[in-house]
Amino acid sequence: MKMGAMEGVESSSSEVEVMAKPVRRRYTAEYRLRILRAAEVSSGRGELGALLRREGLYSSNLTAWRKQRERGELEGLSRRRGPSPTQRHPLADKVRGLERETARLKARAERAEGLVELQKKVSEILGIELNRSDEKD
Protein backbone atom coordinates (compact mmCIF):
# COMPACT_ATOMS: atom_id res chain seq x y z
CA MET A 1 0.00 0.00 0.00
CA LYS A 2 1.46 3.35 -1.06
CA MET A 3 0.86 6.52 0.91
CA GLY A 4 1.43 10.02 -0.37
CA ALA A 5 3.14 13.03 1.16
CA MET A 6 0.48 13.26 3.86
CA GLU A 7 1.60 10.00 5.41
CA GLY A 8 0.60 9.65 9.03
CA VAL A 9 -1.14 13.03 9.16
CA GLU A 10 -4.65 13.11 10.47
CA SER A 11 -6.84 15.89 9.23
CA SER A 12 -9.26 17.24 11.74
CA SER A 13 -11.06 20.55 11.62
CA SER A 14 -10.87 20.82 15.40
CA GLU A 15 -7.07 21.09 15.24
CA VAL A 16 -7.09 24.19 13.05
CA GLU A 17 -6.82 27.32 15.13
CA VAL A 18 -7.94 30.53 13.49
CA MET A 19 -6.58 33.64 15.11
CA ALA A 20 -8.92 36.59 15.25
CA LYS A 21 -7.62 39.75 13.67
CA PRO A 22 -6.74 42.20 16.44
CA VAL A 23 -9.04 45.18 16.63
CA ARG A 24 -7.54 48.56 17.44
CA ARG A 25 -8.92 49.93 20.66
CA ARG A 26 -10.75 53.22 20.54
CA TYR A 27 -10.99 55.33 23.64
CA THR A 28 -13.80 57.81 24.24
CA ALA A 29 -13.07 61.29 25.49
CA GLU A 30 -14.78 60.51 28.80
CA TYR A 31 -12.62 57.40 29.32
CA ARG A 32 -9.43 59.32 28.53
CA LEU A 33 -10.31 62.09 30.97
CA ARG A 34 -11.22 59.57 33.67
CA ILE A 35 -7.88 57.80 33.26
CA LEU A 36 -5.99 61.12 33.28
CA ARG A 37 -7.75 62.14 36.51
CA ALA A 38 -6.96 58.76 38.08
CA ALA A 39 -3.31 59.10 37.00
CA GLU A 40 -3.08 62.57 38.56
CA VAL A 41 -4.59 61.32 41.82
CA SER A 42 -2.27 58.32 42.08
CA SER A 43 0.56 59.52 44.28
CA GLY A 44 1.77 56.35 45.92
CA ARG A 45 4.71 54.37 44.69
CA GLY A 46 3.66 52.00 41.88
CA GLU A 47 0.06 53.21 41.73
CA LEU A 48 0.44 54.67 38.26
CA GLY A 49 1.99 51.45 36.96
CA ALA A 50 -0.81 49.43 38.53
CA LEU A 51 -3.38 51.68 36.86
CA LEU A 52 -1.72 51.27 33.47
CA ARG A 53 -1.48 47.49 33.85
CA ARG A 54 -5.09 47.22 35.03
CA GLU A 55 -6.37 49.24 32.06
CA GLY A 56 -3.96 47.68 29.56
CA LEU A 57 -2.43 51.04 28.62
CA TYR A 58 1.05 52.38 27.97
CA SER A 59 2.62 55.47 29.47
CA SER A 60 2.76 56.92 25.94
CA ASN A 61 -1.05 56.90 25.93
CA LEU A 62 -1.06 59.16 28.98
CA THR A 63 1.54 61.47 27.43
CA ALA A 64 -0.41 61.82 24.19
CA TRP A 65 -3.71 62.33 26.01
CA ARG A 66 -2.21 65.00 28.27
CA LYS A 67 -0.94 66.90 25.22
CA GLN A 68 -4.35 66.63 23.59
CA ARG A 69 -6.03 67.93 26.72
CA GLU A 70 -3.59 70.89 26.94
CA ARG A 71 -4.25 71.80 23.31
CA GLY A 72 -7.89 72.48 23.89
CA GLU A 73 -9.84 70.71 26.65
CA LEU A 74 -11.37 67.85 24.67
CA GLU A 75 -10.69 69.42 21.27
CA GLY A 76 -8.07 66.80 20.55
CA LEU A 77 -10.08 64.06 22.21
CA SER A 78 -13.41 64.40 20.45
CA ARG A 79 -12.31 65.70 17.07
CA ARG A 80 -14.00 63.97 14.16
CA ARG A 81 -11.74 62.17 11.75
CA GLY A 82 -11.74 62.51 7.98
CA PRO A 83 -11.88 65.46 5.64
CA SER A 84 -13.64 68.55 6.85
CA PRO A 85 -16.89 69.28 5.04
CA THR A 86 -16.56 71.90 2.33
CA GLN A 87 -18.96 74.78 1.94
CA ARG A 88 -21.08 74.52 -1.19
CA HIS A 89 -21.28 77.60 -3.30
CA PRO A 90 -24.90 78.84 -3.48
CA LEU A 91 -24.83 79.09 -7.27
CA ALA A 92 -23.14 75.71 -7.88
CA ASP A 93 -26.44 73.87 -8.36
CA LYS A 94 -27.69 76.49 -10.79
CA VAL A 95 -24.44 76.39 -12.78
CA ARG A 96 -24.57 72.59 -12.90
CA GLY A 97 -28.16 72.71 -14.18
CA LEU A 98 -27.33 75.30 -16.82
CA GLU A 99 -24.33 73.29 -18.01
CA ARG A 100 -26.51 70.21 -18.33
CA GLU A 101 -29.11 72.17 -20.30
CA THR A 102 -26.42 73.63 -22.56
CA ALA A 103 -25.05 70.16 -23.31
CA ARG A 104 -28.57 68.90 -24.07
CA LEU A 105 -29.27 71.79 -26.42
CA LYS A 106 -25.92 71.36 -28.21
CA ALA A 107 -26.68 67.69 -28.81
CA ARG A 108 -30.11 68.63 -30.14
CA ALA A 109 -28.62 71.23 -32.47
CA GLU A 110 -26.07 68.72 -33.78
CA ARG A 111 -28.88 66.22 -34.49
CA ALA A 112 -30.86 68.91 -36.29
CA GLU A 113 -27.83 69.87 -38.42
CA GLY A 114 -27.31 66.19 -39.26
CA LEU A 115 -30.93 65.91 -40.39
CA VAL A 116 -30.57 69.01 -42.57
CA GLU A 117 -27.44 67.53 -44.20
CA LEU A 118 -29.30 64.26 -44.76
CA GLN A 119 -32.20 66.12 -46.37
CA LYS A 120 -29.76 67.91 -48.69
CA LYS A 121 -28.17 64.63 -49.77
CA VAL A 122 -31.56 62.98 -50.35
CA SER A 123 -32.73 65.93 -52.43
CA GLU A 124 -29.55 65.78 -54.53
CA ILE A 125 -29.99 62.05 -55.12
CA LEU A 126 -33.66 62.45 -56.07
CA GLY A 127 -32.99 65.60 -58.06
CA ILE A 128 -35.32 67.76 -56.03
CA GLU A 129 -34.48 71.43 -55.99
CA LEU A 130 -34.44 72.93 -52.48
CA ASN A 131 -35.20 76.54 -51.69
CA ARG A 132 -31.92 77.73 -50.31
CA SER A 133 -32.02 80.72 -48.08
CA ASP A 134 -28.86 82.67 -47.23
CA GLU A 135 -26.55 79.98 -45.94
CA LYS A 136 -23.56 80.90 -43.86
CA ASP A 137 -21.60 77.60 -44.33
CA distance readout (Å), 69 to 32, 46, 51, 54, 78: 9, 24, 19, 22, 10
> Are 32 and 25 within 8 A, CB to CB?
no
Distance CA 130, CA 128 (A): 6
pLDDT tens digits for range 34-91: 999 999 888 888 899 999 999 999 999 999 888 888 876 555 555 566 787 788 888 8
Residues present in the chain in total = 137
State the chain's maximal CA–CA distance in angstroms: 110
pLDDT tens-digit profile of 116-135? 999 999 988 988 887 766 55
